[in-house]
Amino acid sequence: MSDRDPRYLLFHTGRGRFALSVVGLFVFLAIFGTILAPDDPDASSTDIFAPPSTSHLLGTTENGADVFSQLLVGARVSIIVGFAAAAISALLGSAVGLASGYFGGWTDRILDPVENWFLVIPTLPLMIVLASLLSPSLGVLIVVIGLTSWAGTGRIVRAQVLTLRERAFVERARALGAGHPYILRTHIFPNVLPLIFANTVLIVAIAILSEAALSFLGLGDPTRISWGTMLENAFESGAPSAEAWWYVIPPGLCITTLVLSVATLGYLFEEHINPRLAERRETQVTAA
């Protein structure tokens, strides 16, 4: 197994193993979190802002609900929004990138400024504007984040397709009379797919952070518990002044660990596709 092999990078390097197990754990919690939660995460009690104890592993919230249970249940929103929004973003980005790169001409002249626009416009304000015009729900969050984060993928795919289009094997296919759909399907798309994949993994990380930020600002789904809404509730209810560190630290730590792990997976795939990147990182390590 070469050290450029994705299986090696994932299962035999420290950071690959760490990232994979964290993502695995949180995906597991997203599915079974509601069953595993020791308490009803919405249940209120008079035991407010209670520090961690044997009955409440991570203490209680401003309503006396169990923080640990909320944490387990909250994984679902992050995972769903992260993956679904990244899927929309990947679809849009690759469609636009393929079309403007492959067809060029007017298609490119129209799509390229749109892509540029989405690259330049500050993302969080754009998401805020869209989310506050629509009423908050999980679906709205997914669509809003997906719609605002595809431009980077589009740019990368377009650049790659521009070079692929001029390659001999594509010209050969064209000379033999292959149509556009055939060339796109058999020659162009398979060659940009790894790139799209690596980039989409990174977008998952961005989407998770975006969901948390929007939820923190009160634009999340009001019917669901997420780590972002936990931080919002903690802050609004004065958890810092109650010095309720058990309520404040865990949700943010979950977001950070998940984002860090997903991003690490993305970088590992990038290294697999682009060995020059890995070689550079490697020389950095071995040169010392």
Half-sphere exposure of 91 (CA within 13 A, CB side): 9
Q: Which amino acid is at 233?
A: N
Site size toward another protein, by CB under 8 A: 47
Q: What is the nearest approach in angstroms of another protein to the Cβ of residue 132?
A: 5
Q: What is the nearest approach in angstroms of another protein to the Cβ of residue 147?
A: 12
If the CB atoms of residues 131 and 161 are measured against another protein, the closer one turns out to be 131
If the CB atoms of residues 246 and 269 are measured against another protein, the closer one turns out to be 246
Q: Which residues ranging from 97 to 126 are in contact with another protein (CB under 8 A)?
A: 113, 116-117, 120-126
Complete DSSP assignment for 125-179? HHHHHHHHHSPP-HHHHHHHHHHHS-HHHHHHHHHHHHHHHTSHHHHHHHHTT--
| 235 contributes a contact to another protein by CB under 8 A | yes
Question: Could you say which of 36, 43, 110, 129 contacts another protein (CB under 8 A)?
Answer: 129
If the CB atoms of residues 192 and 262 are measured against another protein, the closer one turns out to be 262
What is d(CA 274, CA 197) in angstroms, rounded to the nearest whole number? 13
Q: Which pairs with CB-CB distance under 8 Å and at least 24 residues apart come from 11-19?
A: 13/268, 15/264, 15/268, 16/264, 16/265, 16/268, 18/261, 18/264, 19/260, 19/261, 19/262, 19/264, 19/265, 19/268
Q: What is the nearest approach in angstroms of another protein to the Cβ of residue 226?
A: 12
Q: What is the nearest approach in angstroms of another protein to the Cβ of residue 162?
A: 19
If the CB atoms of residues 24 and 240 are measured against another protein, the closer one turns out to be 240
In angstroms, the Cα distances linking 60 to 39, 142, 241, 258 are 11, 30, 15, 23
| 219 contributes a contact to another protein by CB under 8 A | yes
**Would you state the structure tokens that stand for residue 196, as one six-digit string?**
């799209």
Q: What is the nearest approach in angstroms of another protein to the Cβ of residue 242?
A: 8
| 248 contributes a contact to another protein by CB under 8 A | yes
User: Which parts of this chain interact with another protein (CB under 8 A)?
Assistant: 113, 116-117, 120-126, 128-130, 132-133, 205, 209, 212-213, 216-219, 231, 234-235, 239-241, 243, 245, 248-249, 251-252, 255-256, 259-260, 263, 280, 283-288
